[in-house]
Amino acid sequence: MKDREGTDLDRRGFLRFLAGGFLALWAPAAGFVAASFLNASGTKHRPGERRLQCGTFSTLAVGEARLVRHGAEPIFVVRLAASKVMAVSAICTHVRCVLRWNRDNGTFLCPCHDGAFDKTGNVLSGPPKRPLRQYPAEVRADEIIVHT
């Protein structure tokens, strides 16, 4: 009986040791995987921030812009260079008319009072005093993602 109890205790101790070792290795790995999943893009997200899918990057030529509908505030995504994209509001900062893209000279034009903005949203001419609102944009797996 004593031998049997001794054997049981040894077996129990060994199993506890194995379980403890497994948990010691598993817990940090599970924490790392969970943290990676929650922050998959590596981008810090503000509370309430939304990700807007804005179409494929490869179909937007360098120097071109694409209008993306987004509720009351449509957005233009602009491909500035081979690997650089940015996003600006498509709403004029004067009295909120929706802008048009002028591909001939790469500017945004306002049909209401002839305001004009460059492709990064800076005022070029007309009554607007403020530049266009910019949004963080990135490319993930050939999809343009804008953070609104």
Binding site for ligand FES (CB under 6 A): 92, 94-95, 97, 110, 112-113, 115, 126-128
- Toward ligand FES, which CB reaches closer, 36 or 120? 120
Residues forming beta bridges with residue 109, ordered by sequence position = 100, 116
Task: State the amino acid at position 96 in one-letter form.
Answer: R
Question: Shortest Cβ distance from residue 94 to ligand FES (Å)?
Answer: 3
SS3 per-residue string spanning 74-138: CEEEEEEECCEEEEEECECCCCCCECEEECCCCEEECCCCCCEEECCCCEEECCCCCCCCEECEE
Question: Shortest Cβ distance from residue 115 to ligand FES (Å)?
Answer: 3
Question: Shortest Cβ distance from residue 116 to ligand FES (Å)?
Answer: 8
Which residue's Cβ lies closest to ligand FES? 115
- Toward ligand FES, which CB reaches closer, 18 or 124? 124
- Toward ligand FES, which CB reaches closer, 61 or 95? 95
- Toward ligand FES, which CB reaches closer, 80 or 98? 98
Question: Shortest Cβ distance from residue 96 to ligand FES (Å)?
Answer: 6
User: Whose CA is closest to 139, among 54, 31, 40?
Assistant: 54
Q: CB within 8 A of 47, min separation 6: which ones?
A: none
